[in-house]
Every structure is written in C-alpha cells, then in structure tokens.
Amino acid sequence: MSQQTHRISGGLIDRSSTLEFTFNGKKMQGHPGDTLASALLANGQRLVGRGFKYHRPRGIFTAGSEEPNALVQLRSGAHQEPNTRATVTELFDGLTATSQNHRGSLEFDFMAVTDLLSPFLSAGFYYKTFMWPKAFWEKIYEPIIRSSAGLGSLSMQEDPDIYDKGFLHCDLLVIGSGPAGLAAALSAARSGAQVILADEDYHAGGRLNAETYDIDGISGSDWAAQTLAELSAMDNVRVMVRTTVYGAYDHGVFGALERCTDHLASSDGKPRQVLWRIYSKRSLLSAGATERPIAFGNNDRPGIMLAGAVRTYVNRYGVSPGKQVAIFTNNDDGWRTATDLAAKGVDISAVIDARDIEPPASVHGAAVYMGSSVVDTAGRKGLRAITLASGERLEADCLAVSGGWNPNVHLTCHQRGKPQWRNEINAFVPGSTLPAGMRVAGAANGALSLGAALRDGTDCATSIMADLGFKSKASKAPTASDEAHASSAYWHVPESRPRAWLDMQNDVTVKDIKQSFKEGFRSVEHLKRYTTLGMATDQGKTSNIPALAIMAECTGKTIPETGTTIFRPPYTPIPMGALAGRARGKDFRPYRLTPSHKWAENNGATFVETGNWLRAQWFARPGEKGWRDSVDREVEMTRASVGICDVTTLGKIDIQGKDAAEFLNHVYTNAFLKLPVGKVRYGLMLREDGIAYDDGTTARLGENHFVMTTTTANAVLVFRRLEFARQCLWPGLDVHLISTTDGWAQFAVAGPNSRNLLSKVIDAPFDLSNDAFPFMACSELTICGGTPARLFRISFSGEMAYEIAVPARFGNAMMGVLMEAGKEYDAVPYGTEALGVMRIEKGHAAGNELNGQTTALNLGLGGFVSKKKDCIGKTLSQRPELNRDDAIRLVGFKPVDHSQPLLAGSHFITKGDTANMANDQGWMTSVAYSPTFGHSIGLGFIKRGHERKGEIIRVVNPARNIEVEAEIVSPHFYDPEGGLQRG
C-alpha cells in the first residue's frame, strides 16, 4: 500500500485484494475495481505518454472512453495491444503497460525537440513544403514523417486470440446503464418486454458510480446496484456490461462489442471478445454526456483533467489525482467536484469560475475567484502551478477543468441524422431525424440533472412499451434532486498567450483553428481535415465542440450555423480481429469437398482451391519427380486406356415441367425444343448484354425432365439467373428448378477402355454398345446391383467418354468401384491439371476464355446462336462493334520451336510490328504442355484469327521478359474430326 500515495478512502474497489502491475517496467499496485488509469494515479504516476506531434508530456485527462491522452501499449509479445486507453482498461494481476510515441524514455523524449520548432509546424505546414527536390519526398521527408507519426506499434505476429460473433434479438435495446438507462430498462422489463441493457463499462450504473447523489433515499450507486440486481434476476432481461454498442445500422440493427476476457490476465482459450449484431424492435440511447474542457495556455500538462473525471477518481476509485487541487469551471457542475473533493478531505486550493456571478456553493478552505480564468500553467512533466488572468500564481498539482457537458449523440447520427443546438445547455442534442425505432433519454437527450434523467428514462420506456403493445405497469420514476447545472458559453480563455490545446491527441491548438480560418478552411469539414482536429483515436469527443465554437467566433456565425462534423461508426474503436471473428486462416471461407475427397486423399492427390471447392489437381505416384510427370502420365494413360475424374463440382440443375424445353430455349442460344428424350446437347448461354456467359450440357431424361450442367465457377450464378428468368421474365411457364450439384456425385470415365470399364459396373440388361448408347446419349439406370445412377455419353477430353452420376453419398465408394473395375485396364485417376491439358488439346473453351468479355463470335461458337428463335442476350449480341470484321477469334497456337513453352497472358504482335498496345493483336488465354504432341500448345484470342491460320506470330511476354514465335492453328489440336469420342 505504501506506493499508493494518492489512495484515499471509499470507492467501489476491493481493498481486500491487491493486484500487481507494471508501467514501463516499474512495479505498482492497485485493487480489483481499478482501471489502469486509476491505479496509475493512485501510485502517483501522472506522466503517462507523449503528444503526437510535439511530444509534450501528457497525463490522464478523463475517466472514460473519451480519453485522448492516456494511451498505452498493453501486454507484450503477440498479445501486444497498441493505443489502449488506460482509462477503460480494467486492472488485472500481472498487467504490463508501456508508454508510446517517444524516443528515449518517457521522461526524456528526444523528439520533444519538435516542441521548440512548433512555430514552423503550424496547421497544414506539410502541405506547403517538402516539395523540393522532388525525389526527397519519398526518400527523406515522408519516411521521417511516417516514423514520427502513428502511436503504438503492432507486434507483427498473428493475433493469438480468438473472437466470436453472435446475434441477439430484443424488443428494446437500452444503450447505457446510467440513471436514464436503468430507469428505462426497469420500466420496460417490468412490462414483460425482452430487454437488453448494454454498457461499455464493467461496472453498470454510469455516473451514478462517480457521483454522490441519492435516489429514493439511498445513494445513487446503491440504487444502481439494487436495480441491476432486480434486472439481472429477470428472465426477459440481458444485462451486458463490458459491451459497447458501437454502431446503429439500418432497420434497428446495432453492432456491439462485448469484451469477455480483456480484464483477465489471459483469455485461456476462450473468445477474447464477441461481436454481437443486435436486432431490436426499439432502442433507447441513454449514453449520457461527455464533459468538455476549456482551452487555455499550456492546458495539456499531466495533472490537468476534466472536473467530472477528477470526481470519478475520488468517488469511484478512492484516488485523489492531486494533493492540492484547483478547479476551473464555467458552470455549476464544476463546483460539484469542489464540494465532493472537500467532503473527502482533499485540499482544494482554489475554485476559479469564468462567470462573474455569485458563487453557487461554498467550499471549505478554497479560495474562490469569480469572473476569472486560468491563463497559463507551469510544470514540465506534471502540473505545479497555475496562473490566473490577474497574474496571480497558485500552487496546484491537479487542475480540474469543466467547460460543460455534451450529450453523447453519436449513435443518433450514424444514419446521417444531424444534431441540433440547444442554447440552454450550450450543447448539441439529438436532432429530429433519428435511426428508425430509436428514442433518446437522459443526459444524452440534454436532460442534465439526475431527477430529469430518471423521469426521462421512465417516460421513454413507458411510451415505447405502449407503442409495442405491452401493458405497462404504472411505473413511477425514481426520484432524485434536480441539481443545478447552469452553464455558460465560455470556450477558451482569450487572454491566454501560450498555446492552448483543443485536440490533445493530434496536437491541435486554438491558434491552429484561427489559422485555418485565416487560410479559408472555414467549413467544419475543412477545419477538421486541414488541422486534423478530431481525427485521433478519441474522434474528438472532448475537442470538437470547443473547436467549433472558436471557429464560430472567427466567422461571426453561431455554432449551429457553423455546423458539426459527422459522427461515424464505431463509437469507440473496435479490434479488427473481432470484426472478422472466426473467418480467418483456413476458416476464412468454408471448404467444399468433392464426394471422392477421402479416396483422393488416400491415393496421393494434391489438391487445389477452385472457388470454395478443393479438387484433386493430380495424383502423384512414387518416383515421379514433379507435377508434370504425374500430369503427363494421367493424360497419356487416359488417352491410351482409361482415366477417371471427379467432376461433381460442375453445377447441376434439375429442370422439370411441361414447359421445361421452352424455358431452355429462352436461356440457351441454341434450340432445345426438339432434343429427343435420352439425348444430351451442348448449350451456350449469354448474358442479356450479349456476352458469352456459361456453357455446359443438358440432358433430356424425360419429356418434361432435363438435367443441365454448368461450369464449376458459375454453378450458383447460373442457377440464380435461371430463377430470375423463370420467376421474373417467363412466370407463366410451367417449369421448376432445383440445384442438384451437391446431390449427385459425377465422374468422367474417359478413354478407349471407358466402355469396357463401365460395362463391368452397370446392371444388366443395359446395353452400352455404340449403337444402343451412342455419343451424346443419356439414360437413368442402375449399377452395382441396384444403385440408381445416371449415365451421359459426353466427352470433355475428346476421348470416347462417359460421365456417370450416383447419389452423392455413394460418391466415395463409387470412385473405388470404378478404379477396381478399371484395374485390368490400368485405369488412372486424373486431376484438374490433366483435365485442363486434355480440354486444351481438344480446344474446348473454359473459364480463361469464357471470361465475361468475349462473345459467341469471339469463341468460334457463333453458329450456336440460333437464328430462328430469341434467347437471353441475342438482341444485344448483334450490336455492331461486337461484330466487327477484325473481332478477336479463338484459335490454337503451336511454338515454332517445339522446345519452347508458351505462356498464358502473353500478347500477340504481328511479325515486323513494334511490340506496343497499338499493335496488340490479342492474348494467349490457356496453355499446356501436351504430352500427346510432345510440345507446348496454347489457346488464345487474336484479331481475325479464323483467317490467319498458318501465320507465324510474335508471342510477347515482357512481364516475364520472354518472346517466342508461334504458328496460328486450329484450336482443335486433338482429333479434330471427333471420331474418337463417337467411337
């Protein structure tokens, strides 16, 4: 205890237990119930940090989340947490904190030299210099500015904590548990409504815990405790302390952050914080008010604090921030600090009131100066003395300053509501446009006396309950006094000559505001942006209004005419980790696994991310030296015998109804009306703007039953568009759609032995012969003795090939069955790489070609756009510039020197032309090493490609510093006549 030189009696702390903590390595002690700030003050530590720009010594200024100065680096290692406000950090045993933003020690900061240069560092100085020589900005000036700017630093290690998210629903969300909030929550809860009461503090009760008022005959903090006990015992109430409602979003949705383990030495595997989205029918903002300072010379020294904060430290924490306290106020509430401190036996040296009126109270032992002001202060690392306007100098190690109170209107403005000025309290109160369902009560609504706040809270709750249809039990507001709170519009001390700080954190002074005015930055937004006022971590909670008042003084306008800056979420800063929750690392997005994933895992597959899918990329065999070995083998074996590939990821859409064929006619470019049952047709889809969108095959399993496949990438999007077409464009058609992508496992079985393999698994008497089941046939059938399946004779590889589908739950087994049956043919599983190689050899377009920028004409699929019928995209595909003679066409490319690889993304330049964009002929979309041909092959778009076969073209790749020559060829490298797939 001996270290706690400033500890006094009383307060809501548990003196039976002592907590050890360190500040800058120095061991200190506090008690449960302390914040880091109150514990530092108890230990006599006034100097806690350095200013942003001038590196002036700074102390604790407030007792709440509005703190601009007392920012520390909390914890260490990967848990290091920069810019943490000591005033809201609950003390725990073993806490370590260090000060920020100094070079050398906190006491001797070399950067403090900038304070001497301050005449040259006035508002916006950096816009006017550092321009010469030009190269110096990035090489010299900016690095210096950057390393001086910023406050704390990150550990640069991954955040070791976990964060959760959740949803909550309620009839009434009460934001803030001060008197108005407690009264309202109690009234609403007794009516039976579902109530959430949230407070950023760990000790609910708001200012009741910091004041000495009575309610209904007991002390305010006892009343708060009693009310909370009643609320907590009710099933329909959720009291959430350590929970900041930080943002008001549309339709009654609020963002809230609950700090679950920040008050513990370690989170111990539990979520550190939870991000709640609260869905409320109604909300009541009872967030209280924030005291504002008065600006005067050298008002930023450690020991100079807001008067209400001084009172909080004395009453709630049993700490006196000074041994000899002076008070400077422009309002009655400031006197409350004097009387409270006097009651605790703290030595009050003087009360200075800017108003020339009768003193509103008498304070034992204090000199009273009415109509006076503080013009200067002394004490480099902590206040020693103050100088009054009269020149009189008074000893003081703490100066409590009160400039009046600003209602916390922030959340009322998150949906662009504008606060309005109320002259009686010299402050902005919530405006008439509030977020839907929101009411405001208590000090947040400008009801600055305790009695008024209690009545306001009760009344609001009563009317909200009536509005929601709850029978309100006649609820009488708790009673308390309506204490005096008269204030005056006195913002800064004009007689002060030294710099007077407004924004303590960003080092914005009264002079900066005046200069801003002089230079024409007069609108509030200009002022803020030019001087950086209110842009620090406290978002100007204590500084914006005084600065605004000074600008109004300069312009000769009123404060409301001058305007107010826009409050934006969050109310107080929210950790990035909490906003992201569990969606990080491998859990950033869910994995979709193919039905045969386990089989693939067990058989040497390397996997690749394809959208959210994880697909087998290749299956390495022992002895293979790299992926190319595996892929080449898979291609060769498939083309020589048979290969099997899980193609479940392709989108599958079940289309049924008597108008199903007509529906397909609308969405595909080619005709589907006459597709016979038992047949499959390739289909091309356009967007309505005429650009090619997706392709796939559609099988007619019955007169009124089709199964469409889409590309993997577009599975969800095509289904969405089809539903749009069905519900919005052709709602009269009798057709229904179901996505069955996940319902059916589907395997490509490709290669000359595919029929032999399949004949071993399908049930008799199904006839697989070419006559009975030719190319582009389809059928439902059973396999393996009764398992339902679908068989499609389609080929992406160019080989004789089938795709066989079974209900997804059989997928993994099916892969085993097919491989087992294929053993005698040396069947190989193949992955997406071999799939890609074979489709390039065959000249099929895929995602790199169907990239949303190309037309059917570009793709060489112009013939698939039926001339006889309309379809989505047809009209706009006929626009002239999409059909220019020199339009790009999809063709194939072979390197002239077969040993050279082609690279995707290369551009084409006609031989003899300079390589520049003006001469650009197109680009290479897809390439592969073809084991079939023994050299690299490519697909690409080139102007008039269809007329240029045989031309040798420059394939330039300046990004890789490579250029090769290639011959323009047909895109169909492999079996161009298609005999094999029909075989």
Partner 1 sequence: MRYSAFEILKQGLSGNKGWKPVWREPEPKAEYDVIIVGGGGHGLSTAYYLSKVYGMRNIAVLEKGWLGSGNIGRNTTIIRSNYMMPGNQPFYEFSLKLWEGLEQDFNYNAMVSQRSILNLFHSDPQRDAFVRRANAMILSGADAELADEAQLRRELPFLDFDNARFPIKGGLYQRRGGTVRHDAVAWGYARGADSHGVDIIQNCEVTGFDIENGVCTGVQSSKGRIRAKKVAVCVAGSSSRVMSLAGMRLPIESHVLQAFVTEGLKPTLPGVITFGAGHFYVSQSDKGGLVFGGDIDGYNTYAQRGNLPVVEDVAEGGMAIMPMIGRTRLLRSWGGVMDMSMDGSPFIDKTHIEGLYFNGGWCYGGFKATPASGYCYAHLLANDTPHPVATEMRLDRFKRGHIIDEKGQGNQPNLH
Partner 2 sequence: MIINHPLLGPRDAAEFVYLGDAALIDRPDPEAENADEQFYEYGYLRDNPAGAHQELWYHEQGDRSWLVVTRDTLTHEITGVKLARDEAKKRGRNK
Binding interface with partner 2 (CB under 8 A): 249-253, 279, 415, 436, 688-689, 716, 720, 723-724, 727-733, 870, 874-876, 878-879
Our finding on whether 530 is near partner 1 (CB under 8 A) is: yes
Of 192-200, 525-533, 766-774, 856-864: span binding partner 1 (CB under 8 A): 525-533
Residue 199: phi and psi, rounded to 5, are: -145, 140
Residue 660: phi and psi, rounded to 5, are: -60, -40
Cβ(185)–Cβ(237) under 8 Å? yes
Our finding on whether 259 is near partner 1 (CB under 8 A) is: no
Residues 136-155 that bind partner 1 (CB under 8 A): 137-138, 142, 145-147, 149-155
**DSSP summary character for residue 500:** B
Rg (CA), the chain: 38
Measure Cα distances from 957 to 212, 690, 896, 906, 943 in Å: 77, 31, 16, 5, 18
Our finding on whether 77 is near partner 1 (CB under 8 A) is: no
**How far apart (Å, rounded) are the C-alpha atoms in residues 723 and 209?**
59
Residues 728-787 that bind partner 1 (CB under 8 A): none
Our finding on whether 560 is near partner 1 (CB under 8 A) is: no
**How far apart (Å, rounded) are the C-alpha atoms in residues 93 and 21?**
6
Q: Decide whether 140 or 436 has the Cβ nearer to partner 2.
A: 436
* Minimum distance, C-beta of residue 440 to partner 1, in the bound complex (Å): 19
* Minimum distance, C-beta of residue 167 to partner 2, in the bound complex (Å): 9
Handedness of CA 363, 369, 375, 376 (dihedral sign): negative
Choosing among partner 2, partner 1, none, which partner's interface includes residue 723 (Cβ < 5 to 8 Å by kind)? Answer: partner 2
Our finding on whether 907 is near partner 1 (CB under 8 A) is: yes
* Minimum distance, C-beta of residue 689 to partner 2, in the bound complex (Å): 6
Choosing among partner 2, partner 1, none, which partner's interface includes residue 730 (Cβ < 5 to 8 Å by kind)? Answer: partner 2
**DSSP summary character for residue 105:** -
Of 171-179, 205-213, 217-225, 899-907: span binding partner 1 (CB under 8 A): 899-907
Of 9-17, 226-234, 596-604, 923-931: span binding partner 1 (CB under 8 A): 923-931
**How far apart (Å, rounded) are the C-alpha atoms in residues 399 and 744?**
76
**How far apart (Å, rounded) are the C-alpha atoms in residues 651 and 504?**
59
Measure Cα distances from 401 to 29, 300, 356, 496 in Å: 28, 11, 17, 15
Q: Decide whether 281 or 511 has the Cβ nearer to partner 2.
A: 281
Rule CB under 8 A: choose which of 82, 431, 560, 862 binds partner 1: 82
H or E segment and range at residue 305: strand 304-306
Residues 277-306 that bind partner 1 (CB under 8 A): 277
β-pairing, 163-175 with 71-74?
unpaired
**In the stretch 941-970, what mask flags binding to partner 1 with x, by CB under 8 A?**
---------------xxxxx----------
Our finding on whether 585 is near partner 1 (CB under 8 A) is: yes
Strand, helix or coil for residue 442: helix
- Give the binding-site size for partner 1 (rule: CB under 8 A): 122
Cβ(411)–Cβ(287) under 8 Å? yes
> In the structure encoding, which two tokens stand for residue 642, read together?
């048979």
Choosing among partner 1, partner 2, none, which partner's interface includes residue 691 (Cβ < 5 to 8 Å by kind)? Answer: partner 1
* Minimum distance, C-beta of residue 728 to partner 2, in the bound complex (Å): 5
H or E segment and range at residue 172: strand 163-175
> Is the bond preceding residue 765 a cis peptide, omega within 30 degrees?
yes
* Minimum distance, C-beta of residue 658 to partner 2, in the bound complex (Å): 14
Our finding on whether 825 is near partner 1 (CB under 8 A) is: no
* Minimum distance, C-beta of residue 81 to partner 2, in the bound complex (Å): 30
Choosing among partner 2, partner 1, none, which partner's interface includes residue 978 (Cβ < 5 to 8 Å by kind)? Answer: none
Q: Decide whether 467 or 870 has the Cβ nearer to partner 2.
A: 870
Q: Decide whether 852 or 976 has the Cβ nearer to partner 1.
A: 852
* Minimum distance, C-beta of residue 725 to partner 2, in the bound complex (Å): 9
Our finding on whether 261 is near partner 1 (CB under 8 A) is: no
Q: Decide whether 475 or 926 has the Cβ nearer to partner 1.
A: 926
Our finding on whether 102 is near partner 1 (CB under 8 A) is: no
Closest CA to 671 of 662, 680, 679: 662
**How far apart (Å, rounded) are the C-alpha atoms in residues 317 and 60?**
14
Q: Decide whether 878 or 970 has the Cβ nearer to partner 2.
A: 878
List the 81-85 sheet strands across, edge first: 26-30, 19-23, 95-99, 71-74, 81-85
Measure Cα distances from 970 to 834, 842, 848, 948, 981 in Å: 21, 10, 18, 10, 18
Choosing among partner 2, partner 1, none, which partner's interface includes residue 330 (Cβ < 5 to 8 Å by kind)? Answer: none
Choosing among partner 2, partner 1, none, which partner's interface includes residue 724 (Cβ < 5 to 8 Å by kind)? Answer: partner 2
Our finding on whether 275 is near partner 1 (CB under 8 A) is: yes
Choosing among partner 2, partner 1, none, which partner's interface includes residue 728 (Cβ < 5 to 8 Å by kind)? Answer: partner 2
Cβ(341)–Cβ(350) under 8 Å? no
Measure Cα distances from 909 to 764, 859, 888, 946, 957 in Å: 58, 20, 13, 16, 10
Our finding on whether 64 is near partner 1 (CB under 8 A) is: no
Closest CA to 49 of 493, 572, 538: 538
Helical segments of 272-331, H only: 307-315
Cβ(783)–Cβ(774) under 8 Å? no
Choosing among partner 2, partner 1, none, which partner's interface includes residue 521 (Cβ < 5 to 8 Å by kind)? Answer: partner 1
Of 283-291, 475-483, 518-526, 654-662: span binding partner 1 (CB under 8 A): 518-526
Residues 157-216 that bind partner 1 (CB under 8 A): 157-159, 161, 163, 165
